[in-house]
Structures are given as C-alpha cells and as structure tokens.
Structure 1
Amino acid sequence: MAKKKQRADGALATNNKARYNYAIAETYEAGIELTGTEIKSVRASKITIGDGFVQVRDGQAWLDNVHISPFEQGNRFNHDPLRSRRLLLHKKEIQVLQAAVAQQGKTIVPLKVYLKHGFAKVLIGVATGKHNYDKRETIKRRDQDRELHRTLKKRY
C-alpha cells in the first residue's frame, strides 16, 4: 500500500476555512488526550477538524466536534468518532483562554493537527468572526498576490 503524502509543514489536518472566516488573534499549542486507536487513526491522517471548536469546562479545555475515523483494525476497542477530547494545556493558559472567550464575539478554533516528537498536537487560535466585507478584502488581497507572483514568474 502506498504511503500517504505528508504536507510540507508536517500537518496531518488543517482547518483552511478558519483563517478565512475568523481573524486569529493569538495561537496556542496543546496536546490532545487520545486513546490507543485514536492516535493510530490520527497518524494515518484520518481526522477532520473543519467543524471543531474548543470549550473551557470545569477548568479544563475540551476539543469538540472533531471527527477521528475509527481505526480499521480496532475491533471492539474502537472509539466514538465525535467524542469530546481533553486538551493538555497549562493552568494559566486555560485561564487566559477562558477570559478571552468571556469577551463578546471571541471563540477558540483548531487550526492544525500535527505530530511533534511522536505526540499529537493541535494548534488552537483565539478568533473573532469576520464580517462579509472583511472576507471580500481577504479574497481581493489573495488575488492581488497571486497576480503579482504570476507577473514576476513571467518576467524571470
């Protein structure tokens, strides 16, 4: 069986719509508490974080609505694909996140899942939702950059 191509940045899953729909203020790296079959599925890049979000409950950060496919050889030890997973953060970081979410219009979204020294990590960002005119500005800037790179490429 052919190996799956790894992305250049080593990410197993990315949330491409997050930077389009949200203005990311600050980011944090957090570990994810996973079961044995879950980490095997994550290493096989069978994870979807597009609809995911982070909640702070009882002094702990929880990653919700992230789909990790059941491991094929997991038999009865398989996991629920959409269960809440605890994020491993320092207490001070959790308090900062909780204070940020208490502000109106702030949310915490997962941006990227990757492996670091054999452990699954998730990059989460404190975000504010963008308005439609902000999204149009993002598209406009991206198109201008693309056009600039095209002209430079033709020139050299």
Structure 2
Amino acid sequence: MAKEKGRKVIAQNKKARHDYHIMDTYECGLVLTGTEVKSLRQGRASLVDGFVQIDGHEAWLHNVHVPEYSQGTWTNHTARRKRKLLLHRAEIDKLESKSGETGHTIVPLSLYFKDGRAKVEIALARGKKEYDKRQTLREKQDRREAERTMSAIRRRQRA
C-alpha cells in the first residue's frame, strides 16, 4: 500500500474565523488511539466547541467531537475526551504566555491528514466584538460586489 501524500481536510471551524481575530497559527500533531484514527479516516469530526488549554507545560485539545468508530469493540474511545497536542517546547511557552493575556484564546481551525498523519491547525486568537463581526461581513460583501462588477465589465468588453 502506497503512503498517501498531500493534505486531506477532515473538519474545519469556520465559525472561529468569524468570531475571532486570528493572530498566529500553528500546525501540531495529535496523540490519538487506533479507533479515533479510523473514525477520522471516515471523515467524521467536529471542531465547533473546541479549544486548547495549556496544563503543566503541555497543550491539550478539549471538546473536539470524534464519534466512536462503528466497528470498534470495547476498545472504543469516548467521543469528547481531551487529546494531547504535539508542539515544540518554545511554541508551548509562547502560546502559554500569550493566552494568559486578557481576551486571548487558542482555538482549533482545521483537522486534517498530512502525509498520513493526523494534524490540527490551531490559532492564537482574540475575540471580536459584535461591531467587528458586522464590519467583516460588510467588507466581504463589498469585495464580492466589486468582483461581480469587474467580471460584468470584462464580459461586456469581450462581447
């Protein structure tokens, strides 16, 4: 069996990009059991309520839902257990100091397989206020409107 190459996305947390200002992103590995990996390979996971917490100089991923493996036996995992993240010591120390500041948190952005290994992309983020969310939506709509207008002009010029 040939080893798979590239990046296969399992789950994304789109709400995180809406609710937070993303300041810095990190790619890290996960410590998983066998049934968790099999369940992820079926493309089943949810990052919606997930967050990262640093306890005793170790990073832990909380509230990420990986459903039980359907063919699993008594060795099956619990769906919302905390999972250890694999990061370099310097990265953990940096995240620990930054997340201690007021209003900062660490959220998972996406869960994927990279060259056959399960990875999670986490981000150091600061919560957006309600008016920031509205402004982001307005900018997105304005950008979309401008692109539509430009493509309409290009179509008229070609015809």
Is the structural similarity TM-score above 0.5?
yes
Shift of 1:43: 1.4
**1:116 matched residue in structure 2:** 114
**Aligned residue runs from structure 1 range 32-71, under 5 A:** 32-71=30-69
Runs (5+) with no aligned partner, structure 1: 1-8
Q: Secondary structure at the match of 1:67?
A: coil
Question: CA separation in 1, counterparts of 2:19 and 2:10?
Answer: 21
**2:149 matched residue in structure 1:** 151
The Cα offsets for residues 87-138 of structure 1, whole Å up to 9 and x where unpaired, read as 0001111101100111111000000111111100000000000001100110
Q: How many residues align?
A: 148
TM-score (norm 2): 0.90
Question: CA separation in 1, counterparts of 2:39 and 2:95?
Answer: 28
Q: Secondary structure at the match of 1:42?
A: helix
**1:6 matched residue in structure 2:** none
**1:72 matched residue in structure 2:** 70
Runs of 4+ deviating beyond 4 Å: none
The Cα offsets for residues 5-36 of structure 1, whole Å up to 9 and x where unpaired, read as xxxx7321000011110001000001011000
Runs (5+) with no aligned partner, structure 2: 1-6
Shift of 1:75: 1.7
**1:135 matched residue in structure 2:** 133
Which range moved further: 37-46 or 82-91?
A: 37-46
Question: CA separation in 2, counterparts of 1:45 and 1:140?
Answer: 33
Q: Secondary structure at the match of 2:79?
A: coil
Shift of 1:151: 2.0
Question: CA separation in 2, counterparts of 1:138 and 1:11?
Answer: 25
Shift of 1:44: 1.3
Which range moved further: 103-112 or 146-155?
A: 146-155
Which range moved further: 61-70 or 138-147?
A: 138-147
C-alpha contact (below 8 Å) 2:8/2:114 kept by paired residues: no
TM-score (norm 1): 0.91
**1:5 matched residue in structure 2:** none
Question: CA separation in 1, counterparts of 2:9 and 2:146?
Answer: 28
**1:11 matched residue in structure 2:** 9
The Cα offsets for residues 44-76 of structure 1, whole Å up to 9 and x where unpaired, read as 111000110000001100000000011110121
Q: Secondary structure at the match of 2:74?
A: helix
Q: Which has the larger radius of gyration?
A: 2
Percentage of pairs with the same residue: 46
